[in-house]
Amino acid sequence: MNLTELLDTTAARWPKKVALIEESTVVSYAELAQRTLALAAKLQSLGITRGGRIGLAFPNGVGYVALTFALWRVNAVVVPIPMECTEAEIAELAAAMQLEGTLRQKPRGVCMAVAGDCFLTQLAPPSPPDNHGLNLAFIRFTSGTTSARKGVALGHETIRDRVLSANQAFRIGSDDTVIWCLPMAHHFLITIVLYLGAGATIVLARHVLARPFLEAINHWRGTVLYAAPFHFAMLARDNSGATVPSVRLAVSTTCALPAEVAEEFYQHYKIPLVQGLGVIEFGLVSLNTDDPRGRWNSVGRPAGGFRIQINDPDADGCGEVAVTGPGIFDAYVAPWIPREALLCGGWFPTGDIGRLDAEGFLFLLARKTAVINLAGRKVFPEEIEAVINRHPAVRESRVYGKPHAHLGEVVEVEIVLASPDANLDSVRAFCRDHLASYKIPTRFTVVSALPRTAVTGKIRRAAVVA
Amino acid sequence: MIETQEIETKLLDFLKREVFAPEVLVTSETDLVAAGFDSMSLVRLLLFIETDYGFWIPESEITGDALRNIRALASTIARLINER
């Protein structure tokens, strides 16, 4: 099975239907399929072969979509590289994921032109990647410490299964027009692939300020919104008087939806915002589509074929959320750990602490890990500490997420300086050179010592309440 | 009273240093969106203002007019601070 079959089936059924709109560019399904064929031929001629892992560092656009499907046509494995990554981060990602090349808008290093604005930089991984015989389509790189699991690998069949499962909840069809504003490097599978497989039209909104967004919704008669709480807050507080009568489904994603944003959005537009539990390892586990008013904080009941259980619940029914369902990831990449090795009696523990109410609605309460969620971008404290600790002015550091009313959490750091007269400005500048901008701590605080656990002496990391 | 000029200088320094790539020429009149200002840039800008001026710009004030350029943005921030 190959995911291009989803696109080709839609293109054969509705060749003239509009697949993508990007400003003045309107691309039909037939044109998109044709474009991916031409790009695939070019990629093949440049030596990209089955199983090769290729990093894709492209901004949102028709080009991003076409290149992803073109890579799939030649059975390459797509590894998205977020545009905000620094060169140092791209080099780390390329080495950890054993990339054979990257596709970028500008020429870098030893490279060959794929198209006018696309260049293939060839890389030479120390050893060829081993995909363990799997029909891999996609790897999401997740940074972390050297001991953390890096990279979530998904096969073509896995992605197809999770897309079909998710659409039992979304019910996207060929009559839908999705107004899109999130970065494709972070959101692509149960969104863009799902929409194209269903024959929907995707409008790429260039900017997400309330009024241009509202204008795009009404100009294109958008039926589906898929955005972050941050975007919905701006829409909810718009005072232009604009309404969005064409919208039938508005999904809040990336981080917990504040109840007041959901309530304000509902009061303004009479559309209930729904949120779900979407995780790269599993796809869409749950969606709160059953009249979420009154339980805005819930991520809903299980979606598609998913089941949810609470492991070792306490007296209040709270425990670790475990899930099972279609389209669970195939393996972690570095080190390679197949999913079967992580399943406990057929269930996969998520690391989230939660509870189910009497009607089966899931509420997330906290996380077992210290990962920080800044407006939907995952930030790993250990990764940032590793960079900061390399600076000669720093003896050690502790990065943590501070709850933030509008963004979920923000990144802050406590630093123990190597000497009292060390300069924090140079540490900030060092972060700017080595970290994507959203990972740079908002606040740097100098402390004399870091809190440590009594038993192991490790830096103490409190579980963060969502 | 806080002066718009003071805020403008601070914003220009922040955006040049932390949001835009070094090769992008940014002045007080630069069209921010055309220069590549995106939603993550907006998040970083809002956080910077919150950290330095102690308040979150209300969503109803985050408009195309306010984000037209740094001068317009500084003027919006000055008005909001002086209204407080």
Q: What is the number of other CB atoms lying within 10 angstroms of the CB of residue B54? A: 9
Contact A439, A383 (CB under 8 A): yes
Q: Which residue has the higher pLDDT, B21 or A139?
A: A139
The answer to whether residue A345 is domain-embedded is: yes
Q: Among partner residues B43, B63, B67, which is closest to A230 by beta-carbon distance?
A: B43
Domain limit, last residue, from A333, A352, A369: A369
Q: Beta A118-122 vs A101-104: how paired, if at all?
A: antiparallel
Q: Do B63 and A377 touch (CB under 8 A)?
A: no
pLDDT of residue A147: 46
List, for residues A156-206, the tens digit of each pLDDT value. 999 999 999 999 999 999 999 999 999 999 999 999 999 999 999 999 997
Minimal Cα distance from A411: which residue of B?
B47
List, for residues B27-53, the tens digit of each pLDDT value. 999 998 888 888 888 888 999 999 888
List, for residues A387-408, the tens digit of each pLDDT value. 999 999 999 999 999 988 888 8
Q: Do B39 and A443 touch (CB under 8 A)?
A: no
Both structure tokens of A90: 């791209």
- Mean pLDDT, chain A, whole residue set: 91
For testing contact with chain A, the best of B15, B24, B31, B38 (most A CBs within 10 A): B38
Same structural domain, A312 and A394: no
High-pLDDT (> 90) share of chain B, %: 40
Residue A216 clears pLDDT 70, i.e. is over it: yes
Q: Do A210 and B42 touch (CB under 8 A)?
A: no
- Mean pLDDT, chain B, whole residue set: 88
The answer to whether residue A12 is domain-embedded is: yes
Query: In this structure, what CATH number is given to the domain that contains residue A285?
Result: 3.40.50.12780
Same structural domain, A188 and A199: yes
List, for residues A351-361, the tens digit of each pLDDT value. 888 999 999 99
Same structural domain, A330 and A376: no
Residue A146 clears pLDDT 50, i.e. is over it: no
pLDDT of residue B65: 87
Distances in whole angstroms, Cα of residue A196 to Cα of each of A125, A136, A158, A190:
33, 20, 17, 10
pLDDT of residue A149: 65
Poorest-pLDDT segment among A43-57, A223-237, A441-455: A441-455
Q: Do B59 and A233 touch (CB under 8 A)?
A: yes
Query: In this structure, what CATH number is given to the domain that contains residue A423?
Result: 3.30.300.30
Same structural domain, A178 and A51: no
The answer to whether residue A462 is domain-embedded is: no
Same structural domain, A122 and A247: no
Residue A343 clears pLDDT 80, i.e. is over it: yes
Residue A464 clears pLDDT 70, i.e. is over it: no
Same structural domain, A180 and A278: yes
**Does residue B23 belong to the interface with chain A, where contact is any CB pair within 8 Å?**
no
How far apart (Å, rounded) are the C-alpha atoms in residues A253 and A230? 10
B58 contacts in chain A (CB < 8 Å): 237
Work out the average pLDDT over A105-116: 90
Minimal Cα distance from B50: which residue of A?
A442
pLDDT of residue A462: 58
Same structural domain, A168 and A120: no
Burial class (CB in 10 A: 0-12, 13-18, 19+), A276: buried
Domain limit, last residue, from A129, A146, A169: A129
Number of domains in chain A: 3
Same structural domain, A89 and A189: no
Work out the average pLDDT over A24-52: 96
* Phi and psi, residue A179, nearest 5°: -95, 115
Same structural domain, A294 and A392: no
Query: In this structure, what CATH number is given to the domain that contains residue A107?
Result: 3.40.50.980
Residue A116 clears pLDDT 80, i.e. is over it: yes
Work out the average pLDDT over A34-53: 96
Q: Give the ipTM.
A: 0.85
Residue A138 DSSP code: E
> Nearest CA to CA, how far is A108 from chain B (Å)?
16
Q: Which residues, numbered 50 to 69 in chain B, qualify as contacts with chain A under a Cβ-Cβ cut-off of 8 Å?
A: 51, 56, 58-60, 62-64, 67
Distances in whole angstroms, Cα of residue A419 to Cα of each of A271, A422, A423, A447, B26:
56, 5, 9, 12, 37
How far apart (Å, rounded) are the C-alpha atoms in residues A150 and A144? 7
Q: What is the number of other CB atoms lying within 10 angstroms of the CB of residue A37? A: 16
For testing contact with chain B, the best of A60, A84, A209 (most B CBs within 10 A): A209
Same structural domain, A343 and A419: no
Both structure tokens of A347: 């269930």
Q: Do B51 and A375 touch (CB under 8 A)?
A: no
Residue A145 clears pLDDT 60, i.e. is over it: no
Same structural domain, A51 and A176: no
pLDDT of residue A114: 95
Domain that holds residue A417: 371-446
A208 contacts in chain B (CB < 8 Å): 39, 42
Cα atoms found within 13 Å of the Cα of residue A184, Cβ hemisphere only: 24
pLDDT of residue A465: 38
Q: Among partner residues B18, B38, B60, which is closest to A237 by beta-carbon distance?
A: B60
